[in-house]
């Protein structure tokens, strides 16, 4: 403190070489600081993948069970091919895989038939913004979405017939066990939901 008001002490001999080195060192230190800062952000970003929990996926052979108590069944009860009359639509999960909403399958009976004949199945997740479509067909016989009124024709591979969706609902093959329970016989024909 005395130096502030007192007489200036003679300037110390400045070692130019040393000064430059210190400045350089400080510059590198600052750069390293920036780098560490960036790295500190980059590493958690890599860990983002871990946020996505591993969720069950539909596999060939999964028997289907009612998703809810709507449509004449109770949630968790196996869906029988005989439960559906022509024009009926119900929604089902692969048994034990209802933790993942995107596994929801929309089953529609288009005509009478043995086994899986006359039955079609699509993903019940709208390709517009991921809402679940209505289980019941609308008055035009289309699968409709409650959110933005996208419509899909179940008789034509769920092609878009109205609304803002830009892609058909992915379809999935069905089979029927000897006991009459509907089960999955393949994979979805495309990505589920909006993409």
Partner 1 sequence: MTDQRGPAVPPVTIMPASEVRPGGRAAPRTAPRQVPRTGEGRRVAAPRAAKRDASRAGWVEERLDVTGLNAKYGRKAFPVHTTFFLGEMAAFAFIILIVTGIYLGLIYIPSSAPVEVDGQELPEAYASVRLIESIPVANLFRNVHHWAAHVMVLATLLHLIRIFFFGTYRRPRELNWIIGVVMLILTLVAGFLGYALPFDSYAVTATGIGYSIARSIPWVGNVAAELFFGGAFPTLGSLPRLYTLHIFVVPALIALTTAAHILLIVKNKHSQPGYARKLAEPGRVLGVPAWPYQALLAGQLFLLMFGALFILSALFEIHPLAAYGPPGPGTPAVKPDWYLLWVYGFLDIVPASLTLTTPIGTIGPQFIGGIVFPGIIFTLIFLAPWLDRTNRGRDVPRFEYLQPPAQAPVRLTIGVGFLTYIGMLFVAGYHVELGLSIAQTWYLSLIVPAVVMAATYGIARQRDPAWSRRFDPSAEEEDEEVLYVEAPRGDQ
48 interacts with partner 1 by CB under 8 A: yes
Going by their DSSP bridges, the two strands 105-109 and 182-184 should be labelled as: unpaired
Residue 102 neighbours by CB under 8 Å, 6+ apart: 55, 123, 125, 192, 193
Residue 69 neighbours by CB under 8 Å, 6+ apart: 75
Which residues, numbered 17-36, are part of the site for partner 1 (CB under 8 A)? none
84 interacts with partner 1 by CB under 8 A: no
97 interacts with partner 1 by CB under 8 A: no
Q: State which of residues 63, 76, 115, 130 lies at the interface with partner 1 (CB under 8 A).
A: 130
45 interacts with partner 1 by CB under 8 A: yes
148 interacts with partner 1 by CB under 8 A: yes
Torsion angle in degrees (nearest 10) through CA of 139, 188, 114, 85 = -20
How far is it, in rounded angstroms, from Cα 188 to Cα 194? Answer: 14
Structure tokens at 67: 């998703």
Residue 50 CB, nearest approach to partner 1 (Å): 9
Q: Which stretch binds partner 1 (CB under 8 A): 4-12, 21-29, 67-75, 82-90?
A: 67-75
Q: Which residues bind partner 1 (CB under 8 A)?
A: 45, 48, 51-53, 55, 67-68, 70, 91, 93, 98, 101, 104, 128-135, 145-150, 160, 162-166, 193-195
């Amino acid at each position: 403190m005395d130096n502030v008001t007192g007489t200036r002490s003679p300037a110390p001999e400045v070692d130019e070489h040393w000064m430059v080195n210190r400045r350089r060192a400080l510059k590198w230190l600052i750069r390293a600081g920036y780098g560490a800062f960036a790295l500190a952000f980059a590493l958690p970003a890599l860990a983002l993948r871990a946020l996505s929990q591993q969720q069950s996926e539909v596999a060939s052979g999964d028997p289907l069970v009612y998703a809810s108590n709507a449509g004449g069944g109770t949630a968790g009860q196996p869906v029988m091919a005989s439960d559906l009359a022509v024009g009926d639509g119900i929604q089902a999960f692969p048994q034990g895989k209802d933790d993942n909403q995107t596994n929801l399958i929309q089953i529609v009976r288009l005509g009478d038939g043995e086994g899986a004949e006359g039955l079609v199945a699509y993903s019940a997740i709208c390709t517009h913004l991921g809402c679940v479509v209505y289980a019941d067909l609308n008055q035009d016989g289309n699968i409709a979405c409650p959110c933005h009124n996208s419509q899909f024709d179940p008789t034509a591979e769920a092609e878009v017939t109205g609304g803002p969706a830009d892609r058909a609902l992915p379809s999935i093959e069905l089979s029927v066990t000897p006991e009459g329970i509907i089960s999955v016989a393949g994979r979805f024909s495309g990505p589920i939901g909006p993409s």
